[in-house]
Amino acid sequence: MPEVLIIDDDPHIRDVVCFALEQADYVVRQAANGRQGLELFHFKAPDLIILDIMMPEMEGTEVCLEIRKTSAVPILFLSAKDDEIDRIVGLELGGDDYVAKPFSPRELVARVRAILRRAEANAPGAQSANNGNVLSHGRLMIDLDEFRAWWDGQEVVLTVTEFGIIRTLLQRPGKVFTRDNLMDQAYDLHRIVSDRTIDSHVRRVRAKFAAVGAEPVETVHGLGYKLGSCD
């Protein structure tokens, strides 16, 4: 069964989340602060992390940055802050989704399922949409089975959502995707996603590829995005 790590300093929130996830057949571990959460993460890597932002000792944003140094494990931020700028900050740090408190336990479980479905679709042994394990275009290559991406032989570590964006663009080189089209393909939980949230994910993808001298995502002004030059 998939294992979820919940990191939150509020014991009531942890109890609610644990009960909802255990009822949905997930194995759940708990951490009461960021430092304890990192220790549990390193002890046994979970399939997904639910991470509070405002915590004593070590905030969730710091925890996310530390995890992203070594892992692309899906991270769902959970926070009392619901301003759009806070959601964007969480996503740009490497989060895959963001749920504001107070929240519906049923919605939280649905979000968890959606994120894990995307991860499972890219897990070893999954069937690719193109009946092949590897897609490539110029110097860009991705492995659909192993959920990995490379530019000119150098690996670029992506989160689940970031990989979904690159996969979607690479499957249709030359096609212009609107923001909504792109997120519908890369993100399978149907809900309203603002343009700024979508742009945050794209900025993360661009920043990671820029670190290896690449620009695989091209903006088509007034329309959306398409696969950029991969020569």
Strand 154-156 and strand 177-178: the pairing is unpaired
Q: Say what the pLDDT of residue 129 is.
A: 41
Structural domains in the chain, sorted by start:
3-121 (3.40.50.2300), 134-227 (1.10.10.10)
pLDDT at 193 over 80: no
Tell me the pLDDT tens digit for each residue of 42-59. Answer: 998 899 999 998 888 898
Element (H, E) at 143: strand 140-143
Tell me the pLDDT tens digit for each residue of 79-126. Answer: 776 655 566 666 777 788 888 888 889 889 988 988 887 766 555 444
Token pair for residue 157? Answer: 């570590």
Q: Say what the pLDDT of residue 11 is.
A: 95
Element (H, E) at 92: helix 84-92
Q: Which of 169, 201, 174, 173 is nearest to 185 (CA)?
A: 169
Token pair for residue 140? Answer: 């860009």
- In whole angstroms, give the CA distance from residue 133 to residue 124: 10
pTM over 0.75: no
- In whole angstroms, give the CA distance from residue 45 to residue 224: 36
Strand 134-137 and strand 140-143: the pairing is antiparallel
pLDDT at 70 over 90: no
Output b/e per residue, 150-187; b: 16+ Cβ within 10 A: bbeeeebbbbbbbbbbbbbbbbeeeebbebeebbebbb
Q: What share of the chain is helix, strand, coil (3-state, %, to 5)?
A: 40, 20, 40
Q: Say what the pLDDT of residue 1 is.
A: 83
Strand 148-151 and strand 154-156: the pairing is antiparallel
Give DSSP secondary structure letters for 99-134.
Answer: EESS--HHHHHHHHHHHHHHHHHTSTTPPPTTSSSE
Tell me the pLDDT tens digit for each residue of 179-190. Answer: 888 877 776 544
Q: Say what the pLDDT of residue 134 is.
A: 84
State the average pLDDT over residues 158-173: 87
